[in-house]
Amino acid sequence: MNRVFENTSALLAAHLVTRLFSLGVTFLLMTRYYGEKEMGTYFLAMYFTSLIASMSELGMHAPLIREMTLCLSQARHLVGNALMIRILLSAVAFGLMVGLGRLLGYQPATMQIVKLLGLAELLNLIAQSYRCVFRAFERMKYEAFTVIAERSVACVVGGVLIVLGANLYNFCVVVLIASCLNLVLSVAIVRWKFVGLRFRFDFKIWGVLMRQALPFAPGNMLHLIYFRVGALMIEKLSPHGLVANAWFGLAHTIVNAVTILPGAFLGAMFPVMARAYEEKESDFREAYTYAIRWMVLLGVPTAVGIAALAWEIVSILPPDKYSPTRVAPALQLLSWSCGLAFLTTTLITVLRAADKRAQFTLLMGMTTLINIALNYLLIPRHSHVGAAGALIVSEAFLFVAGFVYISRHVVTPTTIRYGLKAVVLSALMGGGLIVLRKLLPIWVLIPLAMLFYAAGLTIWGELRRDSFKQSP
């Protein structure tokens, strides 16, 4: 197994476990102990803080990994200076969270949750600077360890407190404590296994990072805006108000648990792509083909499977508190944006690895404008379902425009034959799920669907041993 699959396996295993933890706590515990209004408050605060916290990232994540990948001996200086920048921006971001939250008229209870989740989000972003070292050295197993530790504390301790009757505020305190643990562990591992840090101001390093980060910063912020703005607009535009955030958030939680697949895989692929782009064009083309092939093979059946089983999935919710008729339609639509996210994440990774800053920002700006306009038109009429529909159209535009640009000006994949196979097998799988979903429980249907799809890919020759080793 090559380095990419080793790193992907480590990240995927860690994030899969933690996403399942989070999904279990949110879907099985919180919905049973908290009502629609409390869950709406939680999701609103979560989306709001993650959006504002993106300011402290400033697009430095990818350039920092890229610079360290190309010059590992400078890692201590690069990370030390990046941390100084991020800490300053984190203070600004937290002030903006508080000020903007009050300006938007959020209730005092909502503002308490915003402050707790905001601090937790910013601490995790500071820890992400240290995780950049793991990715640059292509040792993602250490990142996997910190991810599991942080989520385990938040979910296990938080889940126990929920069962014991803790309110939403107390649960969010546990989330903040878990983020502190994440930062402490990340710092300790970097100093112990990799490099000691040097917090010495270096204008040249600041200049290098800012020259690369600032052109990406608007694009990164726009990327987060078009993912989050719909959820924020629901509270103001939906005729159902805050409770519609609960319906949308629950559907999005399912989808978010699945998007760990492209996140983990492409997180491991980014250093490979960045190095290949600088060194050898043919290797870059192979890396791009390798990445988009796997995202198509995984993304298409994921979208079809979630859409086919949406009503069965939401039936897990307590019917006396949450109506399936509110959550299932949003989940069916979000399943397709989830499938598209597998592909658009690949394209975004290619643009970052190829250092296409202006093009990335322009593409994200156009996508964000489309998303905001559609949300403004659809949410008043269709509430949270309209926001889900707007996200599908936005992701579709991003994929088509991004793929056309990359194919014309950056790189073309060596083959796309796998696409038709994924569509045909997924359609057959989806049809089978629709027929059997009234006869078999969901915990049987999901493994059967996975086995059917994997068997089809094997028969069609897409799971050969050499298909796992095409990346440079």
Q: What pLDDT digit, counting tens, does each position of 44-77 carry?
A: 999 999 888 876 666 666 667 766 666 666 666 6
Cα separation, 333 vs 25, whole angstroms: 23
What residue ranges of the chain have pLDDT lower than 50?
A: 1, 466, 468, 470-472
The reported pLDDT for the residue numbered 132 is 73
**Residue 88: its pLDDT value, please?**
84
Task: Provide the residue range defining the domain that includes 16.
Answer: 3-468
Burial of 104 (C-beta count, 10 Å sphere; 0-12/13-18/19+)? middle
Q: To the nearest 10°, the Cα dihedral for 269, 17, 249, 262?
A: 20
Q: Give SS3 for 440.
A: coil
Structural domain count of the chain: 1
Check residue 472 and give its pLDDT: 45
pLDDT at 11: 67
**Residue showing tokens 């799988």:** 429
What pLDDT does residue 248 have? 94
Question: Which region holds residue 202: left if phi is over 0, alpha if psi is between -120 and 50, else beta?
Answer: beta
State which amino acid sits at residue 231.
A
Other Cβ atoms less than 10 A from the Cβ of 420: the count is 11
| pTM as predicted | 0.84
